[in-house]
Amino acid sequence: MAYTDIDDPSVYFQTTLYTGNGGTQTITNGGNSDLKPDFVWGKSRNGGSEYHQLYDIVRGVTKVIFSTTEDAEETKATGLTAFNSDGFSVGADDGLNKNNSTQVAWQWKAGTSFTNDASGTSIGSIDSAGSFNNDAGFSICSYTGTGSAGTIKHGLNSTPSIIILKNRIDGDIFWYVYHKSLGNDTELYLNGNDAAPSSTSAWNDTNPTSSVFSVGSHGGTNASGQATIAYCFAEKQGYSKFSSYVGNNSTAGGFHHTGFKPAFIMIKRTDATADWRIYDNKRFRAGGPNNKLNYLEPNTTDAEADTDSGGAWDMLSNGFKFYTSEASINGSGTYIYMAFAENPFVTSTGVPATAR
Protein backbone atom coordinates (compact mmCIF):
# COMPACT_ATOMS: atom_id res chain seq x y z
CA MET A 1 0.00 0.00 0.00
CA ALA A 2 1.32 3.47 -0.88
CA TYR A 3 2.33 5.75 1.96
CA THR A 4 0.07 8.43 0.51
CA ASP A 5 -1.82 9.34 -2.65
CA ILE A 6 -1.18 13.05 -2.02
CA ASP A 7 2.49 14.01 -2.36
CA ASP A 8 1.75 17.75 -2.35
CA PRO A 9 -0.87 18.67 0.27
CA SER A 10 -0.69 22.34 -0.75
CA VAL A 11 -2.84 21.43 -3.76
CA TYR A 12 -5.75 20.89 -1.35
CA PHE A 13 -5.01 22.87 1.81
CA GLN A 14 -2.97 25.99 2.61
CA THR A 15 -2.55 28.49 5.42
CA THR A 16 -1.86 32.02 4.20
CA LEU A 17 -0.81 35.03 6.28
CA TYR A 18 -1.28 38.64 5.16
CA THR A 19 -1.75 42.16 6.48
CA GLY A 20 -5.03 44.03 6.07
CA ASN A 21 -5.06 47.36 4.23
CA GLY A 22 -8.57 48.62 4.99
CA GLY A 23 -9.40 48.85 1.29
CA THR A 24 -9.39 46.09 -1.30
CA GLN A 25 -6.73 43.52 -2.00
CA THR A 26 -6.12 40.13 -3.58
CA ILE A 27 -4.51 37.45 -1.43
CA THR A 28 -2.27 35.06 -3.35
CA ASN A 29 -1.39 31.63 -2.04
CA GLY A 30 2.11 30.21 -1.96
CA GLY A 31 2.93 26.56 -1.51
CA ASN A 32 4.27 24.29 -4.21
CA SER A 33 1.08 24.58 -6.23
CA ASP A 34 -1.61 27.15 -6.92
CA LEU A 35 -4.68 26.58 -4.77
CA LYS A 36 -8.10 27.79 -5.86
CA PRO A 37 -9.93 27.73 -2.52
CA ASP A 38 -13.57 26.74 -2.19
CA PHE A 39 -13.69 27.19 1.59
CA VAL A 40 -11.91 30.10 3.32
CA TRP A 41 -11.81 30.41 7.11
CA GLY A 42 -10.22 33.69 8.22
CA LYS A 43 -9.41 35.49 11.46
CA SER A 44 -7.70 38.69 12.54
CA ARG A 45 -4.69 37.52 14.55
CA ASN A 46 -4.17 40.69 16.58
CA GLY A 47 -7.81 41.81 16.74
CA GLY A 48 -9.55 40.74 19.91
CA SER A 49 -13.01 41.84 18.76
CA GLU A 50 -13.18 40.24 15.30
CA TYR A 51 -15.12 37.01 14.71
CA HIS A 52 -13.78 34.00 12.84
CA GLN A 53 -15.30 34.38 9.36
CA LEU A 54 -16.16 31.46 7.08
CA TYR A 55 -16.94 31.72 3.36
CA ASP A 56 -17.49 28.99 0.78
CA ILE A 57 -18.15 28.63 -2.94
CA VAL A 58 -21.51 26.91 -2.44
CA ARG A 59 -23.15 29.75 -0.49
CA GLY A 60 -21.25 32.25 -2.64
CA VAL A 61 -19.03 35.28 -2.17
CA THR A 62 -20.02 37.88 0.45
CA LYS A 63 -22.01 35.21 2.37
CA VAL A 64 -20.36 34.82 5.77
CA ILE A 65 -21.00 32.71 8.85
CA PHE A 66 -19.08 32.99 12.10
CA SER A 67 -17.71 30.05 14.08
CA THR A 68 -17.54 32.30 17.13
CA THR A 69 -21.30 32.66 17.48
CA GLU A 70 -24.64 31.06 16.65
CA ASP A 71 -25.57 34.09 14.53
CA ALA A 72 -27.27 33.49 11.19
CA GLU A 73 -25.50 33.96 7.88
CA GLU A 74 -24.85 37.56 6.88
CA THR A 75 -24.11 39.30 3.61
CA LYS A 76 -20.97 41.42 3.68
CA ALA A 77 -20.58 43.24 0.38
CA THR A 78 -17.03 44.21 1.34
CA GLY A 79 -16.08 40.85 2.86
CA LEU A 80 -14.68 38.07 0.68
CA THR A 81 -15.53 39.22 -2.84
CA ALA A 82 -13.96 36.55 -5.08
CA PHE A 83 -12.53 33.05 -5.09
CA ASN A 84 -9.53 33.25 -7.42
CA SER A 85 -7.39 30.69 -9.23
CA ASP A 86 -4.63 31.08 -6.63
CA GLY A 87 -6.30 32.77 -3.66
CA PHE A 88 -9.15 35.16 -2.95
CA SER A 89 -10.07 38.85 -2.92
CA VAL A 90 -11.36 40.92 -0.01
CA GLY A 91 -13.00 44.29 0.46
CA ALA A 92 -12.76 46.80 3.28
CA ASP A 93 -14.66 44.85 5.95
CA ASP A 94 -12.67 44.67 9.20
CA GLY A 95 -13.16 40.92 9.60
CA LEU A 96 -10.74 39.95 6.82
CA ASN A 97 -9.05 43.23 5.94
CA LYS A 98 -8.82 45.68 8.83
CA ASN A 99 -6.09 48.22 8.16
CA ASN A 100 -2.71 47.08 9.54
CA SER A 101 -4.20 43.95 11.11
CA THR A 102 -2.36 40.66 10.81
CA GLN A 103 -4.61 38.02 9.27
CA VAL A 104 -4.66 34.27 8.76
CA ALA A 105 -6.71 32.35 6.20
CA TRP A 106 -7.06 28.57 6.23
CA GLN A 107 -8.19 27.33 2.83
CA TRP A 108 -9.49 24.03 1.44
CA LYS A 109 -10.22 22.93 -2.12
CA ALA A 110 -13.38 21.11 -3.15
CA GLY A 111 -14.00 21.94 -6.80
CA THR A 112 -16.55 19.54 -8.34
CA SER A 113 -20.20 20.55 -8.12
CA PHE A 114 -23.02 18.14 -7.40
CA THR A 115 -26.78 18.21 -6.97
CA ASN A 116 -28.92 15.39 -5.64
CA ASP A 117 -32.67 15.00 -6.07
CA ALA A 118 -33.12 12.35 -3.40
CA SER A 119 -36.43 11.09 -4.76
CA GLY A 120 -34.94 10.70 -8.23
CA THR A 121 -31.60 9.10 -7.34
CA SER A 122 -32.72 7.16 -4.25
CA ILE A 123 -29.57 8.43 -2.53
CA GLY A 124 -30.63 9.90 0.79
CA SER A 125 -34.05 11.25 1.64
CA ILE A 126 -33.31 15.00 1.73
CA ASP A 127 -32.21 16.91 -1.39
CA SER A 128 -28.70 18.37 -1.31
CA ALA A 129 -26.18 20.23 -3.45
CA GLY A 130 -22.58 21.26 -3.07
CA SER A 131 -18.99 20.80 -4.10
CA PHE A 132 -16.62 17.91 -3.41
CA ASN A 133 -13.09 16.62 -3.86
CA ASN A 134 -12.73 12.87 -3.42
CA ASP A 135 -8.94 12.91 -3.62
CA ALA A 136 -8.73 15.18 -0.57
CA GLY A 137 -11.84 13.81 1.16
CA PHE A 138 -13.60 17.16 1.48
CA SER A 139 -17.08 18.32 0.56
CA ILE A 140 -19.32 21.33 1.12
CA CYS A 141 -22.94 20.25 1.33
CA SER A 142 -26.03 22.47 1.38
CA TYR A 143 -29.52 21.24 2.25
CA THR A 144 -32.84 22.39 3.69
CA GLY A 145 -34.01 20.66 6.84
CA THR A 146 -37.29 18.79 7.08
CA GLY A 147 -37.71 18.43 10.84
CA SER A 148 -37.99 14.65 10.44
CA ALA A 149 -35.19 12.09 10.54
CA GLY A 150 -33.50 11.66 7.18
CA THR A 151 -30.31 11.09 5.22
CA ILE A 152 -28.33 13.55 3.09
CA LYS A 153 -25.92 12.91 0.22
CA HIS A 154 -22.61 14.55 1.15
CA GLY A 155 -20.92 14.21 -2.26
CA LEU A 156 -17.94 12.07 -1.23
CA ASN A 157 -17.20 8.45 -2.12
CA SER A 158 -15.74 7.76 1.34
CA THR A 159 -17.16 8.04 4.84
CA PRO A 160 -16.77 11.41 6.60
CA SER A 161 -14.90 11.31 9.89
CA ILE A 162 -15.90 14.88 10.75
CA ILE A 163 -18.99 16.92 9.88
CA ILE A 164 -19.17 20.59 10.89
CA LEU A 165 -22.51 22.19 10.13
CA LYS A 166 -24.50 25.35 10.75
CA ASN A 167 -28.10 26.41 10.28
CA ARG A 168 -27.78 29.47 8.02
CA ILE A 169 -31.13 31.06 8.90
CA ASP A 170 -31.72 30.76 12.65
CA GLY A 171 -29.44 32.96 14.74
CA ASP A 172 -30.23 31.02 17.91
CA ILE A 173 -28.90 27.64 16.76
CA PHE A 174 -25.36 26.53 17.59
CA TRP A 175 -22.78 24.98 15.26
CA TYR A 176 -22.89 21.16 15.48
CA VAL A 177 -19.87 18.89 15.08
CA TYR A 178 -19.78 15.14 14.49
CA HIS A 179 -16.45 13.41 15.14
CA LYS A 180 -15.95 9.69 14.54
CA SER A 181 -14.07 9.29 17.83
CA LEU A 182 -17.13 10.46 19.77
CA GLY A 183 -19.70 8.50 17.79
CA ASN A 184 -23.21 9.20 16.57
CA ASP A 185 -24.80 9.77 19.97
CA THR A 186 -22.63 12.75 20.90
CA GLU A 187 -22.36 16.31 19.66
CA LEU A 188 -19.93 19.20 20.02
CA TYR A 189 -20.53 22.91 19.49
CA LEU A 190 -17.93 24.74 17.41
CA ASN A 191 -19.01 28.09 18.87
CA GLY A 192 -18.90 26.81 22.47
CA ASN A 193 -16.46 25.45 25.01
CA ASP A 194 -18.78 22.80 26.44
CA ALA A 195 -17.85 19.20 27.10
CA ALA A 196 -19.42 16.78 24.62
CA PRO A 197 -23.05 16.05 25.60
CA SER A 198 -25.02 13.01 24.52
CA SER A 199 -27.60 13.46 21.78
CA THR A 200 -29.39 10.76 19.82
CA SER A 201 -31.44 13.16 17.72
CA ALA A 202 -28.68 15.31 16.20
CA TRP A 203 -27.22 12.50 14.06
CA ASN A 204 -30.17 10.13 14.45
CA ASP A 205 -27.94 7.70 16.37
CA THR A 206 -26.50 6.63 12.99
CA ASN A 207 -22.98 6.77 11.59
CA PRO A 208 -22.29 8.40 8.22
CA THR A 209 -21.68 6.15 5.23
CA SER A 210 -19.68 6.59 2.04
CA SER A 211 -22.71 8.23 0.41
CA VAL A 212 -24.86 9.91 3.10
CA PHE A 213 -24.93 11.27 6.63
CA SER A 214 -27.92 11.04 8.92
CA VAL A 215 -29.82 13.68 10.86
CA GLY A 216 -32.68 13.31 13.30
CA SER A 217 -35.42 15.71 14.25
CA HIS A 218 -32.95 17.95 16.10
CA GLY A 219 -33.27 21.66 15.31
CA GLY A 220 -29.50 22.05 15.26
CA THR A 221 -29.00 19.69 12.34
CA ASN A 222 -32.41 19.46 10.67
CA ALA A 223 -34.70 22.40 11.43
CA SER A 224 -37.76 22.33 9.19
CA GLY A 225 -37.47 24.68 6.22
CA GLN A 226 -34.06 25.99 7.32
CA ALA A 227 -31.09 26.16 4.94
CA THR A 228 -28.03 24.44 6.42
CA ILE A 229 -24.40 24.15 5.32
CA ALA A 230 -22.18 21.18 6.20
CA TYR A 231 -18.42 20.77 5.81
CA CYS A 232 -17.55 17.07 5.55
CA PHE A 233 -14.07 15.58 5.90
CA ALA A 234 -13.01 12.00 5.18
CA GLU A 235 -9.57 10.83 6.31
CA LYS A 236 -6.87 10.36 3.65
CA GLN A 237 -3.63 8.60 4.52
CA GLY A 238 -0.65 10.92 4.52
CA TYR A 239 -2.83 14.03 4.16
CA SER A 240 -5.44 14.17 6.94
CA LYS A 241 -5.99 12.56 10.32
CA PHE A 242 -9.08 12.80 12.55
CA SER A 243 -8.55 11.04 15.83
CA SER A 244 -8.49 11.29 19.62
CA TYR A 245 -6.06 10.95 22.51
CA VAL A 246 -5.89 10.93 26.28
CA GLY A 247 -3.76 13.69 27.80
CA ASN A 248 -1.01 12.76 30.25
CA ASN A 249 -0.97 16.04 32.21
CA SER A 250 2.82 16.15 31.97
CA THR A 251 5.43 18.53 30.62
CA ALA A 252 7.29 15.40 29.51
CA GLY A 253 4.74 15.34 26.72
CA GLY A 254 2.91 12.77 24.72
CA PHE A 255 3.48 11.87 21.06
CA HIS A 256 0.53 11.55 18.66
CA HIS A 257 1.09 9.89 15.30
CA THR A 258 -0.52 11.37 12.18
CA GLY A 259 1.62 9.88 9.41
CA PHE A 260 2.63 13.32 8.16
CA LYS A 261 4.19 16.63 9.18
CA PRO A 262 1.19 18.70 10.29
CA ALA A 263 0.29 22.03 8.70
CA PHE A 264 -2.93 22.54 10.69
CA ILE A 265 -4.31 21.03 13.89
CA MET A 266 -7.60 21.83 15.61
CA ILE A 267 -8.07 20.34 19.11
CA LYS A 268 -10.99 20.16 21.55
CA ARG A 269 -11.14 18.66 25.03
CA THR A 270 -14.32 16.60 25.24
CA ASP A 271 -14.69 15.58 28.90
CA ALA A 272 -14.56 19.06 30.42
CA THR A 273 -15.12 22.71 29.57
CA ALA A 274 -12.33 23.99 27.32
CA ASP A 275 -11.97 26.28 24.32
CA TRP A 276 -11.16 24.90 20.90
CA ARG A 277 -7.59 25.49 19.70
CA ILE A 278 -6.23 25.97 16.17
CA TYR A 279 -2.50 25.74 15.49
CA ASP A 280 -0.72 25.85 12.13
CA ASN A 281 2.75 25.79 10.62
CA LYS A 282 2.84 29.51 9.79
CA ARG A 283 2.13 31.27 13.10
CA PHE A 284 4.97 31.30 15.65
CA ARG A 285 5.77 33.61 18.50
CA ALA A 286 9.22 35.15 18.90
CA GLY A 287 11.86 32.44 19.08
CA GLY A 288 9.95 29.90 16.97
CA PRO A 289 9.83 27.46 15.36
CA ASN A 290 9.50 24.64 16.41
CA ASN A 291 7.79 24.45 19.79
CA LYS A 292 6.66 28.06 19.94
CA LEU A 293 3.28 27.81 18.28
CA ASN A 294 0.55 30.42 18.59
CA TYR A 295 -3.11 29.46 18.71
CA LEU A 296 -6.52 30.90 17.92
CA GLU A 297 -9.85 29.81 19.38
CA PRO A 298 -12.73 29.28 16.91
CA ASN A 299 -15.31 29.84 19.66
CA THR A 300 -13.94 33.22 20.81
CA THR A 301 -12.98 36.56 19.28
CA ASP A 302 -9.69 36.51 21.20
CA ALA A 303 -6.49 37.59 19.51
CA GLU A 304 -3.75 35.08 18.86
CA ALA A 305 -2.04 33.73 21.99
CA ASP A 306 0.72 31.28 22.89
CA THR A 307 0.68 28.07 24.89
CA ASP A 308 2.67 28.37 28.12
CA SER A 309 5.66 30.65 28.43
CA GLY A 310 8.43 28.18 27.71
CA GLY A 311 7.29 26.37 24.60
CA ALA A 312 4.31 24.18 23.97
CA TRP A 313 4.82 21.36 21.52
CA ASP A 314 6.51 20.19 18.34
CA MET A 315 5.17 19.54 14.87
CA LEU A 316 7.24 16.54 13.85
CA SER A 317 7.73 14.73 10.55
CA ASN A 318 5.13 12.10 11.48
CA GLY A 319 2.95 13.74 14.14
CA PHE A 320 3.01 16.11 17.10
CA LYS A 321 4.29 16.00 20.67
CA PHE A 322 3.39 18.09 23.70
CA TYR A 323 5.69 19.62 26.29
CA THR A 324 2.96 21.11 28.44
CA SER A 325 0.33 20.02 30.92
CA GLU A 326 -2.04 22.80 29.88
CA ALA A 327 -5.59 21.55 30.44
CA SER A 328 -6.93 22.64 27.04
CA ILE A 329 -4.58 20.34 25.12
CA ASN A 330 -2.77 17.92 27.47
CA GLY A 331 -4.42 17.71 30.87
CA SER A 332 -5.86 14.57 32.44
CA GLY A 333 -8.66 14.35 29.95
CA THR A 334 -9.86 13.18 26.55
CA TYR A 335 -9.41 15.15 23.33
CA ILE A 336 -10.37 15.01 19.66
CA TYR A 337 -8.45 16.61 16.82
CA MET A 338 -8.43 17.20 13.08
CA ALA A 339 -5.10 17.61 11.28
CA PHE A 340 -3.94 18.32 7.74
CA ALA A 341 -0.49 17.77 6.28
CA GLU A 342 2.36 20.01 5.24
CA ASN A 343 4.17 16.94 3.92
CA PRO A 344 3.45 13.20 4.11
CA PHE A 345 5.88 11.26 6.31
CA VAL A 346 6.97 9.40 3.18
CA THR A 347 5.79 10.31 -0.32
CA SER A 348 4.40 7.79 -2.79
CA THR A 349 7.89 7.59 -4.30
CA GLY A 350 9.57 6.94 -0.95
CA VAL A 351 10.89 10.44 -0.17
CA PRO A 352 10.79 11.06 3.61
CA ALA A 353 9.63 14.28 5.31
CA THR A 354 11.82 16.08 7.85
CA ALA A 355 10.82 17.72 11.11
CA ARG A 356 10.77 21.52 11.20
pTM of the model: 0.95
pLDDT range class, residue 79, cuts 50, 70, 90 = very high
CB 52 within 8 A of CB 66: yes
Dump pLDDT digits (tens) for 237-265.
999 999 999 999 988 778 999 999 999 99
Which residues, 6+ apart, have CB-to-CB distance to 120 below 8 Å?
none
Question: Is 47 a residue whose pLDDT tops 90?
Answer: no
Determine the Cα–Cα distance for residues 21 and 191; give it in Å rounded to an integer: 28
Closest CA to 93 of 149, 25, 151: 25
What integer pLDDT is reported at residue 1 of this predicted model?
A: 41
Q: What is the pLDDT of residues 66-75, one digit of tens each?
A: 999 999 999 9
Q: How many CA atoms lie within 13 A of 221 on its CB side?
A: 30
- Residue 254: what pLDDT? 85
How does pLDDT run across 18-38, given as a tens digit for each residue? Answer: 999 999 999 999 866 789 999
Q: Give residue limits of the domains in the chain.
A: 9-108, 124-233, 240-344
Q: Identify the pLDDT of residue 323.
A: 84
pLDDT per residue over 141-168, tens digit each?
999 999 999 999 999 999 999 999 999 9
